[in-house]
Amino acid sequence: MSAGFGGILSDRWGRVAILVPTLTVTAACNFLLATVGSVSGLLAVRCLMLFIEGAGITITASLVRDFSPRMGRAQAFAFWTWGPVGASFLASALASLTLPLFGNAWQSQAILMGVVSLTLCAIIIWQIAEPSAALRAQVMDAEAEVSAAEKIDPGKLRELFRHPHLWAHVLGNTGWQVLYWTFAIFGQTILVTAFGMAAAAANGVVALGIVLNALAVIAVGRISDRLRLRKPFTAAGTVLTIAALAYFIGLVGAGASATHVVVVYALLFLALGIAYVPWMANFSENAEDVDARLQGSALGLWGMVVRVMIVAMLVVSPQVVAAAGWETWLMVGLGGQVLFLLTLAAFKGPWLTRAPVPGEPRA
């Protein structure tokens, strides 16, 4: 819910006014996480952090859109992914290096991340800026034809609900995110319990996957912008993800070597990177074509639905794993990838490069 409200408020009150408090409180919650002593307490704190963080992460995406014309949108969002992806890498790298120093106590990682997060928050508060409402309007090509009266009008949220292709984006990508968040939250656990890796080694493998994912999103974002195409990259990345995930599931319980598992895990993260950034640019552009003034609301709606899914996943996945193992839950993630691939047919935008038509919105 916070992502939805945060997006709406950021369209009306400005991005930074909402972003700074949410980032700071979320960072401080890491210290609260270190005090948890039960599964129910862990769930409660994680839900609290996701609720607060939901508003912040979608607002940062809106800021990226504000500063990026369409010709560089995918690359801009690729660098944006270095925030959440980079945070996962930092957490995994720190855990790999420091867990043995603290007797493998997970509470040490919460305290370390709290210190790092608050330090970075201080730097962000010092340096962050956002364009004025007038400048945000000028960034968009279509905004040049909007009347002064329309610019004053903040836009109506219900306009987003009238377009089925936007719902296809939101619901399809939520299915895609099941796999991403499974690895983001349980990646180390899967490698330890399903493949017998040591905790420090598992964190190293996760860090490797994240690095490859970060490199993939930059490369694919650049190519996507140069060709002015989104959907072909999203489709190709999703098909590769489905193939890699199916193979990875087949390795569970098969006695595969650690090297074999690492290679497949790395390929899986490369495929995820190919699919994600072009989709995000496509969603931003599709929402923008509906109403450029509601970009924060559209991203907030997406963020809200994804975070409802994450909370549901935190409740359901441990029960599924306890009853049927990790391979069964990973099949759920595979189903989410298939759903995303099917909804791709409803997205707006070309499949092939073509010469631009004067006056036509650029895809």
Q: What's the sign of the alpha-carbon dihedral 195, 172, 275, 233? A: positive
What is the arithmetic mean of pLDDT over 89-100?
A: 76
**So what's the pLDDT on residue 148?**
45
**So what's the pLDDT on residue 61?**
67
Give the closest residue to 282 by CA, choosing from 236, 241, 352, 232.
232
- For 270-291, how does the pLDDT look when each residue is reduced to its tens digit (9 = 90+)? 999 999 999 989 998 898 888 7
CA distance 74 to 229: 10
pLDDT band at 142 (very low <50, low <70, confident <90, very high): very low
How far is residue 259 from each of residues 200, 202, 300, 316, 355, measured CA to CA in Å?
A: 15, 12, 40, 31, 46
CA distance 155 to 294: 6
Provide the mean pLDDT of the chain.
79
Whether 227 has a pLDDT exceeding 70, the answer reads yes
Q: What is the 3-state secondary structure (H, E, C) of 252-298?
A: CCCCCCHHHHHHHHHHHHHHHHHHHHHHHHHHHHHHHHHCHHHHHHH
Whether 177 has a pLDDT exceeding 80, the answer reads yes
What is the arithmetic mean of pLDDT over 59-66?
A: 64
- For 256-271, how does the pLDDT look when each residue is reduced to its tens digit (9 = 90+)? 898 999 999 999 999 9
**So what's the pLDDT on residue 146?**
45
**So what's the pLDDT on residue 74?**
78
Higher model confidence: residue 59 or residue 204? 204
Whether 150 has a pLDDT exceeding 70, the answer reads no
What is the arithmetic mean of pLDDT over 310-331?
A: 93
pLDDT band at 343 (very low <50, low <70, confident <90, very high): very high
**So what's the pLDDT on residue 363?**
43
Higher model confidence: residue 177 or residue 357? 177
Give the closest residue to 76 by CA, choosing from 265, 278, 290.
278
**So what's the pLDDT on residue 331?**
97
- For 7-21, how does the pLDDT look when each residue is reduced to its tens digit (9 = 90+)? 555 555 556 666 667
Coil/strand/helix, residue 197: coil
- The number of beta carbons lying within 10 Å of the beta carbon of residue 257 is 10
Whether 302 has a pLDDT exceeding 60, the answer reads yes
Global model pTM greater than 0.85:
no
**So what's the pLDDT on residue 147?**
43
Domains defined for the chain, CATH in brackets: 2-128+163-346 (1.20.1250.20)
Whether 195 has a pLDDT exceeding 80, the answer reads yes
Give the closest residue to 51 by CA, choosing from 354, 317, 314, 347.
314
CA distance 224 to 233: 7
pLDDT band at 72 (very low <50, low <70, confident <90, very high): low
What is the arithmetic mean of pLDDT over 47-63?
A: 69
**So what's the pLDDT on residue 157?**
62
How far is residue 337 from each of residues 83, 92, 188, 220, measured CA to CA in Å?
A: 23, 25, 21, 19
